[in-house]
A and B are shown apart, each in its own frame.
Chain A
């Protein structure tokens, strides 16, 4: 027995058998043990940063920013870095599937690509009404967007929609209204000396946060001794607000009134000399300092001071977005913000608003962006039986639309729902046929970043690894369907790679012909990952007298009676999970929220004074109720929020979307009122009033920070705003805050 034991002991400490498995045929540029870097495009949010992916032995190992890409210049945010967990996610859809039980039952059987594509193609061919075919995609650009256009055109349907929860519809509408620009301009934060941000959390989620971060750093530290100043106006301190020199809370929905008040002060101070000054004076007469103080809660002398500082900074830049643009008066507000830029004369100047040239790669998708009104129409059409086939591409409207849109019930009236998603999200779970797409790290594609950086930029996305599963690139699925339906004439490319390469010949021909011909140009684009051209848009702008005469900001409307629902709900995009798409990535789940240090789960932020009055403590489970539903979330006291506002991050509360996302936290969108901006039709996410109630239970959120107060340790020396020493109640702007109660 002893001998047997000794034998087994020796056996157990041997190295396990390891194999050395070579390739049958090694890929080009492959060397075992040596990393290969591929430049491509990040697909995690609509900013379109360039990425460099380190691969070894055919596996992606690390994602960094591409230094040659003008948007992010080598930097990359946490969500971009977590792209590897999209690729290697254990909950990816690995093969085409057919719903085998009731819709929504979650019962699927695997099928082949041939069968899946044939089934969808035959149902598309059999549709009696071309306009009964709907295609709802995530926001895509470049030639994939062109391919969708071609496909829907061939099918004879006009119903192609790009739907992203966070798409800034109101900002597009405002720029179109005041400047006649259908694209977003480039906001040159880098060269501005005074940045006035109305609700735009530009360092976190607004438009192109990595690029803004670079610009902000330069405006602060890149100009020798001249340090750019930055003022943030919002009801709840965001990450951008935390970086500001001055944080000004204004009554939710009144940001536009404040902007016009500042504009009025600029005119009153004689700081605008344009020929249309009289028109502006007449239009802004009502926005006197007293009126603005009454509506916004911002003291008149602060308004006058900001106006003076802003108009004397050379140049000053005003940006607007986030919650300020997500009220029922969102477009009014953003028009007012743009008026400030016009009045200080920064249009087309470095450090101001620079118009972008038309896209070189692909065409503009401005007319295809589906706002809340369009999604409501879609649901209405479905209910009336006008939709025969609905194709969903990688977007999750059942999670990001308030239940008031009625989409989930409406799906029951659509005979065929097809999803091209890579994951089993809430919307895909309701599909009849799933044709799973590659992740962006396995696909060919191209892009022209929106908003651009003031000149033409294009980029190509290439597969950095071989496909892990039996999935296909979205473009190839569309080409496959077209092939099955016999649309080969118009869409005769063998693959998306073919189509992209073919289309880039046009880009090649724009420049001076390269001695090496197209192939050498193409290799260069793939190697550098980005292509640029010094084409700029005209930078002069004249604003119609009519636009000036009618400039005004309507008062924001809210759903719910203030007596019954005393708080304004301020939902904001999560730093880590964006609009919820990061919730299935463990890295993002365990990344602490920068403002509260909370990991995993949801929470509601409320002012400590409000919490005190209501007897609420950190970690008490609250029931938040609006006219449209209620959810339960733990309370977190947050000093920098207005006493009558409660804030909640968006992103958690998934019912599907894999093991890491499911049944974690709650989704504030579930209780939003279906209010819209009257002009843009965009969902007014900040226009819902709520009430809070104790449930009597506790559910302390998991934090890395532990205690946010100093407990007398004097770690941060501070002085109360009224001149008192630390340890007393103080006021931060108009908000009462408690500084480290002893």
Chain B
């Protein structure tokens, strides 16, 4: 006498169908989120345009991000740095008035981070800037962007490929970045 398990499995068939549809939905939903809400160009408190500053007016990156060549972080310019120019330039535009209101209240501007590495990655701007790596290598063509968005995937592959191409000493050791 043989016993078949097929009748037992048949009971599960409707459940399996539901699971399959749910899985497809799950994947679809995941990509829909990634496609339509990527979060790579978050809304900023002031509509600051890198295209106008770095592109049209050709202000060097490190005029504002002064720390990049000597600190681990590039540094966001302080409000008084902005006001250094905007006390005189384009003072009647609404966005500059918004800037001035921060300045009058002596309040910092809560910029939203676009490029953010996880805490287990040790990255220092200083070494990369001093090695003449272009800012755009990781940050993309910022000078063309009105709203900065994350274009290059700043992930481990990008770091490793670049370290390999440039034959960085100990460039592929785990502890170079994960320390």
Contacts and interface: CB of A to CB of B under 8 A. Distances in A.
Given A7-B32, A31-B75, A34-B71, A25 B106 contact: yes
Nearest to B34: A10
B23 A14 contact: no
A28 to B, nearest CB: 12
B108 interface: yes
Interface string B28-59: 11111110010100100000000000000000
A3 B29 CA distance: 4
A33 B21 contact: no
Contact of B72 (A6, A18, A33): A33
Contacts of A3: 25-26, 28-29, 32
Contact of B76 (A11, A14, A20, A34): A20
Interface stretch (B4-12, B111-119, B128-136, B139-147): B111-119
A22 B108 contact: yes
Contact of A22 (B21, B70, B76): B76
A1 interface: yes
A2 interface: yes
A623 B136 CA distance: 73
Contacts of A7: 29-30, 32-33
B28 A6 contact: yes
B27 interface: yes
Given A18-B112, A34-B70, A34-B71, A24 B29 contact: no
A415 B144 CA distance: 72
Given A2-B21, A21-B110, A31 B30 contact: no
Contacts of A11: 33, 37
A14 B39 contact: yes
A269 interface: no
Nearest to B28: A3
B77 interface: yes
Nearest to B102: A24
A31 B42 CA distance: 26
B79 interface: yes
B111 A31 contact: no
Contacts of B34: 10
Contacts of A226: none
A6 B34 CA distance: 10
B67 interface: yes
A5 interface: yes
B80 A2 contact: no
A19 B103 contact: no
Contacts of A4: 25, 29
Contacts of A22: 75-79, 108-109, 111
A34 B42 contact: no
A7 B36 CA distance: 11
Interface of B: 21-34, 37, 39, 42, 67, 70-73, 75-80, 102-103, 106-113, 116, 125
Given A24-B80, A33-B71, 6 more contacts: A2-B28, A6-B28, A7-B29, A17-B113, A21-B108, A34-B70
